[in-house]
Every structure is written in C-alpha cells, then in structure tokens.
Structure 1
Amino acid sequence: MNMNTHVLTFQQKIYWLVQQIPVGRVATYGQIAALCGWPRHARYVGYALYQVAPNSEIPWHRVVNAQGKISYAPQRRGTDELQRWRLEAEGIIFEAGDRINLSRYQWQPSATFYQQLISA
C-alpha cells in the first residue's frame, strides 16, 4: 500500500504505518496515532490492530503501550503470548516488569520518512 496513491482511511494508515516498523523495533499505540495525524487516539489504533488476524502480514505484534508493555486482554485469545514470542524472536528483550526499553527499541522514523508522510 502506497500512501501517495490515494486518500487512505485512518485504519488503512494505521496498517500502512505498522508495516513500516522494522524488525527488532516497536512503536506505541500513541506514536502510530500521532503519525496518522490523530494524536490522542491511541485506543483506536488498538481497536484497529485487534481486527488483524494473528497470521497477517501486518506486524501487529510490534505495537505496544506507552509503558513499553504488551496490553494484555482476555478477549485477545492467547495472542498476548504470541506477541511476546514474536518480539523476542526479533531480538527484543523484556526487562523487569515485562517492559520493553523504549529508549532502546522504539522505532524512530527518519526525517526523510516524516517528509514523505507530510507530503502524502
């Protein structure tokens, strides 16, 4: 999906942005919402990613909460453990309290990426 080809819905922007997160990096729900142009809509990002099938090409597992933790929820039907397993398989280390060190692993898009995003 190319952001420059047509106007995308908020949900499509979420999916496109999540696909840009490199292996071994994470983003927060709030970060993705802000990049979509909807700051303070982190919860909507969570709802959108909940709709993604666990075996999807969209790397939903690379999005965590603002504390660097997996947002555990009973309705996720075991995908919490799958999310942790996938992140660890990508080299991400969980620290005390099941936290990911965001200063080490958080995706920091380049200035070029931001320019492309703004001009889209």
Structure 2
Amino acid sequence: MPTPTKPRHTRYARHAACTAWAWGAIVLSCHAAGGTGEYPLPWPTAGEVLVYRSCGCGDACWVAEVRDARKRTVKARLRCDCEQLHASVAPGLKEALHAERCEAIYPEGGDADKSDKPTAIARALRQLLGRR
C-alpha cells in the first residue's frame, strides 16, 4: 500500500502562516517607527475638520491639516519637520517656510502653556487662514 502524502494545500500551511506573521510584524514595526495615525483636534468652524498626525522625533515632527468635512480637500496645512515650521494654503497648497522654529505656534510672551499643543495649532491655522 502506498504511503499517503499530505494534501498540497496543507503542506505549505505552516510556511504560509510564518510568512504572514513575519510580514505583519514588519508592517506594524514600520507603522510604530513612523508616528501615529491621524486623529481630529477641536476646530470651531462648521463644515471643516482639523486633523493631526505625528511623524516621529518624539512628537516633534507633525502635520496638522484643516479639511473640508464633506469633500476631505485640504484647505490649510502646518508641518513641523522637527525643527522648522512649514505652511501651505489652498488653492495650490504650495509649501513655504512659515517660521524657523516649530515653537512659533505658541503665542509670544514666554509664559505660553506649551502643554496645550492642540489649541496652539488651531490658533496658528486660524491665523494662517486669515481668521481670528
């Protein structure tokens, strides 16, 4: 009587499972190294949303965008590259240096509460859009 062989679909199941696990670990580690996912910040204008995401440098690299809530088109963007603050406004969204240091989002005076970053970002974006 011939020796039964394993069906082809189960022969490589362990290999496929290990490969899938390895790719999953790679994807998750790349995501963890790259910052956070996107999440909303408080924004006062109806029909618009303010979203924020970190891209590294211990939250010193970040992007904040004001978007149309329905169309998801970007109206304004502030981006900190760990050192300098860059800004862009629609239409065109051509990015330009906004400030030499990202701390420029905080109001002048030295006693600014730097723990309230969401409020500082929202204030800076309102100014960028010409709103007070």
Fold agreement, TM-score > 0.5: no
Compute the TM-score of the two structures, normalised by the length of structure 1.
0.23
**Structure having greater relative contact order (Cα 8 Å, sep ≥ 6):** 1
Larger radius of gyration: 2
More strand by share: 2
Compute the TM-score of the two structures, normalised by the length of structure 2.
0.21
